[in-house]
Amino acid sequence: MTRFGDFRPLCTSTPSYPWCNLFYTQLLRHAPASLTGASADQASAPIGVDPTCGALRLGHSGSLGNVANIVACAVSILFTALLVVLTSRRAAAVGRVELRYFQILYLLTLPFQLVSTGAFLEQGSTALTVVTAIHAGLVAALFWALLANAIVATQVVEDGTLSSLIPFHFFTLAFFAATTYIALDTAFMYTHTFGPSAPPEALHGTALFVLTSIWPAAAAILYFALMLYIVLGILNEVRPVWYFILAATVFVLSQLDYFLLNKVICRGSNTRVDGSFVATILETAAVGILYLAWKSITEDSWDDAYYE
């Protein structure tokens, strides 16, 4: 029977689900007999815990690893870097600094995602476990930054000032540090506060599940609700709403692909690729659309006539 906080269904049925790396390490150290099927051979094991489908580690049986998502992450890094540059040029735009920090955080998640899901580091290795834990921390911080952008857009505090940036950075660091620590403790069992999973094969981790699954979903919903209120209720604009609706739709599609079509693509390609690359492309597209939405409701430069 699956309980709230059990990662077992995700780690067996969702190829390239990164947080499974943490539980692989936990099982390897505390219940190695639980590693069966494709996970039994640590040297070639794919991402996941006894996954039903997954690319073997790079170099084993001719595997190229998760090559499609590696390419998608690399392209997304270049695209997001361009967004950071474009955002920085809009000197007078409200929320410019906060949006740029959000984009930078997303940019930082991409190389960690590339490594944690690329299937070229050995499962259970310290390097892969630490990279995955940092990746989890960055994802939790990223969604706080997303929600913070909506809060700043309400102009409760003036954007770009210490009253905005101090809480922004404080909670960014808090989410990052807390989630990274919980992820590391889940894997290495420093204190046993967040495990071990009981029974081991359930891959149970309530805190990790909340911070990597529930929190991002809640933050995204709150962000879109706040932005729709601001655009419709305060700015009385209609056209920008379609950008936000499009961004939300693309983001939802990315999650549907990841959790529903991922395994289908993996099996259809005979484990050569899985659907994670589609999810990465759609998530990056959503970030790009959010930039267009922000651009549509902000000014490009200071109105010089106003200051004359």
- CA dist 67 to 122, 129, 147, Å? 16, 20, 32
Cβ density class 235-273: b for 16+ within 10 Å, e for less: eeeeebbebbebbbebbebbeebbbebbbebbeeeebeb
Q: Name the residue type at position 278.
A: V
Q: Is the peptide bond before 18 cis (omega within 30 degrees of 0)?
A: no
* CATH assignment at residue 115: 1.20.1070
- Host domain of residue 242: 8-298
Inside any domain, residue 303: no
Inside any domain, residue 237: yes
Global pTM reads 0.95
Inside any domain, residue 305: no
* Strand locations in 127-273 (E): none
pLDDT by 10s per residue, the chain, length 308: 679 999 999 999 999 999 999 999 999 999 999 999 999 999 999 999 999 999 999 999 889 999 999 999 999 999 999 999 999 998 878 899 999 999 999 999 999 999 999 999 999 999 999 999 999 999 999 999 999 999 999 988 888 889 899 999 999 999 999 999 999 999 999 988 887 888 899 999 999 999 999 999 999 999 999 999 999 999 898 999 999 999 999 999 999 999 999 999 999 999 999 999 999 999 999 999 999 999 999 876 444 433 33
Distance, first Cα to last Cα, the chain: 70
- Provide the number of structural domains found in the chain: 1
Inside any domain, residue 136: yes
Phi/psi class of residue 3: alpha, beta or left (left: φ > 0; alpha: ψ in -120 to 50)?
beta
Question: How many Å apart are CA 128 and CA 65, to the nearest integer?
Answer: 14
CA 55 to chain centre: 21
